[in-house]
Amino acid sequence: MLDRRRRCSGEPTAPVDHVAFGDISRDGLGTDTDMDPSQVPVLGVPEPPEVADLRRLSADIVRLLAERASDRHRGLRPIVGSAAIAQELTRLEPMAAKSIRVLQPQYGYDPEDPGVPLTRLACSRGVEFELITRPATVATHPLLSSIFPGTLLGPCFLRAVVIDESAALVGGVDDADGNRVTWFTEASALVEAVTDLWLATVPQCEPILGPGEKPPLTERQLDVAGLICLGEKDDAIARAVSVSLRTAEREVAAVLAALDARSRAEAVLMMRGRRINSAEAVRGPSRRRGR
């Protein structure tokens, strides 16, 4: 299958090791901030025509979803609450045979993200994964370029997942109790609409990593970062990742250096999306060190 990421940069991209399933199950699916995506920006800043078109396409999908839901359309099934969404993603992962495409405007880092095992399973089976999120997401997820090195940054107004261009999860409006409501559908009109939105968004994006740039953290360092975020000390980290204490200390130092953090506490805050300079974070921690 053609790697559409190359259409944005003209360069090959790093392989993607993870799928953003867990972030979707935790944050839910829906339009960004649960507002009508057809609305113009609050500050009235003019948008390029291409971006305005993406906002309009997103609004059209939301309206089509609402129409089908009100008619109790066959092939449209509601999934209510984050736990139910996570269960649905677990059910769908083995069904993916070719591709998983994710539109996710923003999300944060979670060291206990349940989607990571699902991601590894899908990618180990050769499923192609592609993620589009907004550049500002890096401020709330500074490890993004290491976990998802093939991420595309660009305008994104809808939360959705398309599997093999034959099924989709599309976010709807929260219910009266504030629970996230996501709709699973195999209806061709909705699946094609989300796929078309994806294809229209790709040319407006750029890769999170520049040409030849490597992810700032290794797989083991990502594991160490998660343990730091959970408050583990060096000896516990050494046992968890099966390395010596000295090696664990070096890996902890590497994580702090990649984040430009002066302490473990600051590193945790940064990984949680706080106390990070948004101007520097647009490209992630690797950019600030010129890696």
Q: Which residues pair with 160 in a beta bridge?
A: 103, 170
The CATH code for residues 6-207 is 3.30.870.10
Q: Say what the pLDDT of residue 2 is.
A: 33
**pLDDT score recorded for residue 5:** 37
* The predicted structure's pLDDT at residue 32: 47
Q: Is the pLDDT of residue 93 over 80?
A: yes
> Which carries the bigger pLDDT value, residue 36 or residue 136?
136
pTM: 0.79
pLDDT at 285 over 60: no
Sheet holding 167-171, edge to edge: 76-80, 181-185, 167-171, 160-163, 99-103, 128-133, 152-153, 206-207
pLDDT of residue 220: 96
Amino acid 274: pLDDT: 78
Q: Where are the domains of the chain?
A: 6-207, 219-283
Evaluate if residue 6 carries a pLDDT over 80: no
Q: What is the pLDDT of residues 215-249, one digit of tens each?
A: 999 999 999 999 999 999 999 999 999 999 999 99
Euclidean distance between CA atoms 155 and 135, whole angstroms: 8
- What's the CATH code, domain 219-283? 1.10.10.10
Of the segments 29-33, 75-79, 161-165, which one has the largest average pLDDT value? Answer: 161-165
- Asked if the model's pLDDT at residue 268 lies above 90, the reply is yes
Q: What are phi and psi of 33, to 5 degrees?
A: 60, 15
3-state secondary structure 27-60: HCCCEHHHCCCCCCCCCCCCCCHHHHHHHHHHHH
60 vs 112, more confident: 60
